[in-house]
Structure 1
Amino acid sequence: MSAVSIPAASITGLVLAGGRGQRMGGADKGLQILHGKPLVALVLARLAPQVARVVISANRNCDAYAALGAPWQADVCADTLPDFPGPLAGLLAGLRAARTEWLLTAPCDSPWLPADLAERLGTAALAERADIVTATTTNAEGVVSMHPVFALVRTSLADDLAAYLDAGGRKVRAWYARHTAAEVAFADERAFYNINSLQELAELERA
């Protein structure tokens, strides 16, 4: 018998595309092209089938993101806090926009995210009675890496996150540590690869 997971109908997907793109020279990362498609479109194609609805967190070019989200009726939400305070601000916007019990997050520059991300994180959430579940991978040297922006988060935590941000908190892992959290180990490191520079993007395009 397969493990029980949270149904897709109970999960909203959130693509985090609201950053400054500093390591890309200020470019809007989610709109950069890889193999003929914007990065955010590649992420949406992987994430949308796993959830009931998708929201895109964006602070620039919102019309462009809304157009790209059209096949999945993806809404666009902006940070409620000024000055690009980081991924937690995008997470808060997503938690507020969600109409489901859970929110599944992924960054806009991760075009190979796992097709079973929601299923596996949801299974762990139920099995371990966790309010937040994140993904980890282990490299060839045995070093474990946590991927905190690939996460399943209970939407009832929105008020606590707002209070944390209002108090000046910005660290994702520190906020996670305030709650019952679990981790799921994935074998494929490439699934969580994120593209941080225009040079990396060009190299992947040539490959």
Structure 2
Amino acid sequence: MTRLPGVILAGGRATRMGGGDKGLRLVGGESLMDRVIARLGAQCATLALNANGDAGRFDALGLPVLSDSIEGFAGPLAGVLAGLDWAAGQGAEAIITAAADTPFFPDDLAARLQAAAGPQGLALAASPDEAGVIRQHPTFGLWPVALREDLRAALQGGLRKIVLWTEGHAAGRAVWSSDPYDPFFNVNTPEDIATAERLIGA
């Protein structure tokens, strides 16, 4: 497995959490962001954070902060593009992305995404929901730098839904088990923090 750069996606507005930086919320005495940094950092060559607004609020993390180049909170794909532009400057061929609010994602994320890459080098993570239906988690992916101009053009043309773009480029899919819980469980509400606390305790 090639150790690729990793990008943590934290560019959203956390409206269901009441606003602010969701990744800085504490779970089990540690911020969501610190948990994600530790987990993704163990799998990647280097890390950066995609976030908008004052980058100084993340100084304590010691990571480069990449803001969206597409105006108007264009969603996670804009964060992916920011990460690809950053990685291109380092001469990297691809990036691995993870969401800042998902503290339990797999410790083999990078390896299995690379193994599942489609013909154009794309792959997304997936897991079964409670009904057994496989659901993609498009903020967890393998993204080739070679497609960044295609992605930029799509975003400038108004595309916002990740899977519309990834399906158009034949993305592969890596599927993880949801037993005993979905590793892609993400914290969106105060109630989710309580659930995460229980999972950590278990």
TM over 0.5: yes
- Superposition pairs of residues 26-175 of structure 1, within 5 angstroms: 26-68=19-61, 70=62, 74-98=63-87, 99=90, 100-125=92-117, 128-175=118-165
Unaligned runs of 5+ in 1: 1-5
2:17 is matched by which residue type in structure 1? Answer: M
Q: Is the 8 A contact 1:58 1:65 kept in 2?
A: no
CA contact (8 A) 2:70 2:156 kept: no
| SS of equivalent residue, structure 2 residue 135 | strand
1:183 aligns with 2:178: no
CA deviation string 1:119-176 (max 9, x = no partner):
1111122xx5342101111245321111111101111111111100111111100111
The runs of at least 4 aligned residues of structure 1 exceeding 6 Å deviation read none
Q: Counterpart amino acid of 1:76?
A: V
When the two chains are superposed, the root-mean-square deviation of aligned CA atoms in Å is 1.6
Alpha carbons of structure 1 residues 67 and 195: separation in structure 2 relative to 1, 3 Å:
same
Q: CA deviation at 1:76?
A: 0.9
Residue 190 of structure 1 aligns to a residue whose secondary structure is coil
Residues 35-44 or 183-192, more deviating:
183-192
Aligned counterparts of 1:123 and 1:202: Cα–Cα separation in 2: 34
Matched residue of 2:5: which SS?
strand
Question: Quick one: distance in 1 between partners of 2:35 and 2:159?
Answer: 31
Q: Tell me, which stretches of 5 or more residues in structure 2 are unaligned?
A: none
CA distance in 1, matches of 2:147, 2:59: 26
The amino acid of 1:149's aligned partner reads T
How many matched pairs?
Answer: 194
Asked if structure 2 preserves the Cα contact closer than 8 Å seen for 1:124 and 1:130, the reply is: no
Alignment check: 8 A CA contact 2:187 2:196 kept:
no
Q: Report the equivalent of 1:3.
A: none
Contact 1:102–1:153 at 8 Å: present in 2 too?
A: yes
Identity of aligned residues (%): 39
